[in-house]
Amino acid sequence: MAIRPGCFLPRTAVVLALLLASLPNFTQLPAAASPPQFDKPLQTIDDEITAFAFSPDGRIVYSVNRGFKTKKYDLEHDDIWIADSGGKRRRILQGDKFTRGDQPFTYVIERFSWSPNGRLLLAQLFTSALDESGRPEDSVNTLVLDDGGKELRPGGTDNFIRNAAEANWLLDNSTFIYLKEVLKPKMQFSVKQSNLNTGPSHNSFEERTFLDCDVLPHSNVTIAVERDKALTGPPRLQELDMASQEDKEIATLDGYQGGLRVSPSGKKVLYFVDREVLEIRDLAEPSRLARLRVGLGVAQWSPDESHIVIKRAVEKKSGELVTVTVPRLAAPAKEQDPPVQEPEMRFLFHGLSIRDFAISPDGHFIAIVAPGKRNLQIYPFPELGPASR
CATH code, domain carrying 282: 2.130.10.10
Share of the chain above pLDDT 70, in %: 87
Query: Residue 38 has what pLDDT?
Result: 65
Q: What share of the chain is helix, strand, coil (3-state, %, to 5)?
A: 0, 45, 50
**Residue 182 belongs to a domain:** no
Residues 6 or more apart whose CB falls under 8 angstroms from that of 240 comprise 191, 204, 205, 213, 221, 222, 223, 224, 247
**Residue 360 belongs to a domain:** yes
Reported confidence tier of residue 37, pLDDT bands at 50, 70, 90: low
Residues 6 or more apart whose CB falls under 8 angstroms from that of 382 comprise 36, 37, 38, 348, 366
| Best mean pLDDT range from 16-30, 31-45, 150-164, 310-324 | 310-324
301 and 263 in contact (C-beta within 8 Å)?
Answer: yes
Name the more confident of 204 and 174.
174
Write the single-letter amino acid at 329: L
Cα–Cα distance for residue pair 6/130, rounded to 1 Å:
10
Longest alpha-carbon distance in the chain: 69
Cα–Cα distance for residue pair 236/209, rounded to 1 Å:
11
Please choose, from the candidates 81, 38, 59, 41, the residue with its C-alpha nearest in 3D space to the C-alpha of residue 362. 59
Name the more confident of 100 and 330.
330
Q: What is the pLDDT of residues 219-257, one digit of tens each?
A: 999 999 999 998 889 999 999 999 899 999 999 999 999
Name the more confident of 185 and 80.
80
Query: Residue 73 has what pLDDT?
Result: 76
Residues 6 or more apart whose CB falls under 8 angstroms from that of 8 comprise 1, 2, 128, 130, 135, 136
**Residue 241 belongs to a domain:** no
pLDDT over threshold 70, residue 9: no
Query: Residue 200 has what pLDDT?
Result: 62
pLDDT over threshold 70, residue 164: yes
**Residue 181 belongs to a domain:** no
Sheet containing 268-272, strands listed edge to edge, beginning at the edge strand earlier in sequence: 258-262, 268-272, 277-282, 289-293, 340-341
Q: How many other CB atoms sit within 10 Å of the CB of residue 71?
A: 5
pLDDT over threshold 80, residue 191: yes
- pTM score, whole prediction: 0.86
Give, in degrees to the nearest 5, the angle at Cα 369 between 368 and 373: 150
Share of the chain above pLDDT 90, in %: 68
**Residue 126 belongs to a domain:** no
**Residue 124 belongs to a domain:** no
Lowest mean pLDDT among 12-16, 60-64, 149-153, 192-196: 12-16
**Residue 266 belongs to a domain:** yes
Cα–Cα distance for residue pair 21/100, rounded to 1 Å:
32
Domains: count for the chain: 1
Reported confidence tier of residue 169, pLDDT bands at 50, 70, 90: very high
pLDDT, mean of residues 133-147 = 90
pLDDT over threshold 90, residue 154: no
Query: Residue 216 has what pLDDT?
Result: 94
Q: How many other CB atoms sit within 10 Å of the CB of residue 26?
A: 7
pLDDT, mean of residues 154-177 = 89
Reported confidence tier of residue 100, pLDDT bands at 50, 70, 90: confident
Strand, helix or coil for residue 360: coil
Q: How many other CB atoms sit within 10 Å of the CB of residue 271?
A: 26
Cα–Cα distance for residue pair 258/108, rounded to 1 Å:
23
What is the DSSP code string of 197-262?
Answer: TTEEEEEESTT--EEEEEEPTTSSEEEEEE--TTS-SPPEEEEEETTT--EEEEEE-S---EEEEE
**Residue 359 belongs to a domain:** yes
pLDDT over threshold 80, residue 49: yes
Name the more confident of 342 and 26.
342
Q: Give residue 354's domain range.
A: 257-389
